[in-house]
Amino acid sequence: MTLHTVISDVTDRIRKRSETSRRIYLDRMAAAAAEGPRRAHLTCGNQAHAYAAMGDDRAKLAAGQVPNIGIITAYNDMLSAHQPFETYPEVIRKAARAAGGTAQVAGGVPAMCDGVTQGQTGMELSLFSRDVIALSAGVGLSHNVFDSALYLGVCDKIVPGLIMAAVTFGYIPSIFIPAGPMVSGLPNDEKARVRQEFATGECGREELMAAEMASYHGPGTCTFYGTANTNQMLMEFMGMHLPGASFVNPNTPLREALTIAGTERALQITAQGNEFTPVSEVLDERAFVNGMVGLMATGGSTNLILHLPAMARAAGILLDLEDFDALSQTTPLLAKVYPNGLADVNHFHAAGGLGYMISELLNAGLLHDDVKTVAGDGLGLYTQEPKLIEGEIKYFDGTKETLNNKILRPVSEPFSATGGLTQLSGNIGRGVIKISAVAPERHVIEAPARVFHTQEAVKEAFKAGELTQDTVIVVRFQGPKSNGMPELHGLTPTLAVMQDRGLKVALVTDGRMSGASGKVPSAIHVSPEAADGGAIGKIQDGDLIRLDATNGALEVLGVDLDSRSVAEADLTGNGNGVGRELFEMFRQTVGPAATGAGVVV
């Protein structure tokens, strides 16, 4: 199928915009790759330290004749999605030995659970943890004894941070190894109902806790289509997973077999073999465009609008909000997974999943097929489905028809003609809105502003009965410079109740919303942020705001904002408590949300 002109044009625009930075990056990677296997440049003493604890593998490592895999793990048993990784290193070491190689844990990286910190002080470290993860992985790989790397990570900031590290060490191959989603529990719409009842006082904390525990109930990724599962989708669309690896449940024979297969493949694509596939050749402009198309086609998390530009920047590729907008207007929405629908990711996977979706988009010319992936050449490999046959992974053609058109549809019959993500701009600044779960009659909201500086203040005003009219809730001083840009997911039940009462309600913020937020129109990531002098800091109570997702407008009507000064907020409390002291330099040096809110890129 001929590539769609918009896909081609956006790719060319990115390539042209990135020409200088990408060339510098590729020249660096080529020079590093030309040095050959890394261990050859270490002294005997250097190597002896690296191999001292490797037991029977020491001789092979010292001889330098077999490839050595570096494992970067985000294991901890506080994250359900990462708990399965506890046993992966030994599985990988055994698989590497059996395939004639070696493997070592190169290092661990921190891994926060946004579900634990949601609405808490710790959430103010969440976005910054992405850059810490990149730094931590870089420290692990800096020992320079690895011919390829396996990354064990799943959740919100972990995969983006690991990708930033992987492209920085892009002269060696890397494969991402997932752990899979937990099996289905309490339906997500039922959980949302109980949360709204708690917000209005219709049920107590005991009922709320029972619902939450029934929803988050075992090892694996949370089953809604938030940031964590959007990450997994991206790794397939961008060719960094093995095909079909994303949504296989933990602790199953197929899950372990895919980990073994990933290990074997990581050995095959090193410079010592005949299929050398460094990350720098996999993650190019086409791969990032494929990832953005996947984001739109699945109705994925808005957090990736922050992460993808940062990930790309590490590879010398410059993405802009206009790229997301153009691809969204061209890409049909093919999936309905909570919060965009009632199904969870297990239902999505059973209906045909990513393999079916990639097949549909390739056939429509909406994806680049001519890409390198960790599995080989061509994204068409990712239309195949892995099966465990007599203990080995075998690939078969995936389904060509959706197995449930309430969850997954073909390009010819999408849920929506567009991906549901729109760039907003106007006298308030630039931002984005995700409308794939927003009812069409709420795509345009015009109402007076009510301005707040914390999400707690919004909740207090609601409980006091102050929010009973059509309102655009403005929550500012929530950007990366202010307080690390925490998610404001805790507002979702309150705003949803207001909306369900028949009010016109919208949110405008320089902060983030969770990847699980959806049905309330929300203009997020507004840039410049209030703490950086942005116009959002000039809005006053009662100003008439128009949020127009149809035409991409975000404006205060009838007011000359240039004539006003930016409001002042007391941010002194943002720098201490729960580790915030350690991140002062991050708040001072972080870039704007429009370019990924990066610190190290």
Q: Burial of 2 by CB count in 10 Å (0-12 exposed, 13-18 middle, 19+ buried)? A: exposed
Question: C-alpha 528: how far from its chain's center?
Answer: 22
Q: Could you give the residue ranges of the DSSP H alpha helices within 351-432?
A: 353-363
- SS3 label, residue 106: strand
187 cis-preceded (ω within 30 degrees of 0): no
Q: How far is CA 93 from CA 85, 152, 259, 264, 277, in A?
A: 13, 14, 11, 11, 21
Tell me the longest C-alpha to C-alpha distance in the chain. 76
Helices (H), strands (E): how many in the chain? 22, 16
Residue 113, marked binder: no
Q: How far is CA 465 from CA 134, 199, 311, 476, 508, in A?
A: 45, 13, 43, 21, 21
What letter represents residue 547's amino acid? L
Distance of alpha carbon 100 from alpha carbon 264, whole angstroms: 9
Distance of alpha carbon 50 from alpha carbon 532, whole angstroms: 46
Residue (of 159, 148, 112) closest to 583 by Cα position: 112
Element (H, E) at 249: none
What letter represents residue 394's amino acid? K
**Per-residue tokens: 372:** 């390198």
Residue 155, marked binder: yes
Distance of alpha carbon 226 from alpha carbon 221, whole angstroms: 10
Rg for the chain, CA atoms, rounded:
24
- Residue owning tokens 């809110």: 597
Q: 407 with 348: CB under 8 angstroms?
A: yes
Residues in the chain, total: 601
Residue (of 339, 340, 368, 356) closest to 411 by Cα position: 356
Residue (of 430, 486, 431, 498) closest to 458 by Cα position: 498
- SS3 label, residue 509: strand
Residues in binding site for [4Fe-4S] cluster: 155, 222
Residues in binding site: 155, 222
